[in-house]
Amino acid sequence: MKAGLVVDGDYIYEQDKHLTVLKTSLFFANDGFTVYDCKGQLVFRVDSYGPDPRDKAEVVLMDAHGRCLLTVRKKRPSLHHRWEGFLGERSEGQKPIFSVKRSSIIGRCGVTVEVFNNPGEEYQIEGNFGQRSCMILNAAKESVAEIKRKVDASTNVVLGKDVFLLSLKPGFDGAFAMGLVLVLDQINGDDYVVSDVHEMSPTAED
């Protein structure tokens, strides 16, 4: 697969990669995330968005050592819930590297990701993020990443929505993918369906 937008080359893998995403608070929506690999090593973290996450304009994705990889920022005003992504810690006047918006403002709809400075590179996100069941598709409609429920390998029990898998195809930047997860979590919440596609069955991949 041709490599797309790269936030950090350290998170591009040669084989399928399955990351476990954990919401770090069970009491406040969007309070934060930690992301681990299959060996239990911390990969990414996102600190608290504040007491009222819906009013928080920026969310920062960091690596395991606290280095800022990506800032996603809500663009206001915007009827389409447009968010923009900036490399590192955003500064005044910095240009975004991508934007995310709802494809429609009425009813159920998809989410479109536009990449700047690379004509022809765009992505669609389809599925039900609230149920942790959606896919990121490139312009050729090929799946480059998938968000799905995590299954406990020992009991075969589907875990709660606060723990889910982010599965990456070879060559797709995991930092970019996690940035899209943060945007979905902000603009969609747990009750928002991002497309009229059937829900995909969870698998027990770890």
Distance CA 12, CA 32 (A): 23
pLDDT computed for residue 31 by the predictor: 62
Q: Under a CB-based contact definition with an 8 Å cutoff, are residues 67 and 55 in contact? A: no
Residue count of the chain, please give it.
206
Residue 129 CB partners (closer than 8 Å, separation 6+): 147, 184, 185, 188, 192, 193, 194
Q: Under a CB-based contact definition with an 8 Å cutoff, are residues 134 and 127 in contact? A: yes
Question: In what helix (H) or strand (E) does residue 3 lie, and over which residues does it extend?
Answer: none
pLDDT computed for residue 64 by the predictor: 95
Residue 1 within a domain: no
CB atoms within 10 A of CB 17: 20
pLDDT computed for residue 48 by the predictor: 57
Residue 194 within a domain: no
Assess whether the previous peptide bond of 77 is cis (omega < 30° from 0). yes
Q: Which domain holds residue 97?
A: 9-188
Residue 203 within a domain: no
Number of domains the chain contains:
1
| pLDDT less than 50: residues of the chain | 1, 50-55, 106-108, 190-206
Question: In what helix (H) or strand (E) does residue 113 lie, and over which residues does it extend?
Answer: strand 111-115
pLDDT computed for residue 193 by the predictor: 41
Residue 75 within a domain: yes
pLDDT computed for residue 119 by the predictor: 79
Radius of gyration of the chain (CA): 16
CATH code for the domain in which residue 71 is found: 2.40.160.200
Q: Report phi then psi at 180, rounded to 5.
A: -70, -35
Residue 90 within a domain: yes
Residue 206 within a domain: no
**pTM, whole model, 2 decimals?**
0.83
Residue 197 within a domain: no
Distance CA 149, CA 73 (A): 27
Please name the amino acid found at residue 98: F
Q: What angle do CA 160, 138, 117 make, to 5 degrees?
A: 120
pLDDT computed for residue 195 by the predictor: 41
Residue 205 within a domain: no
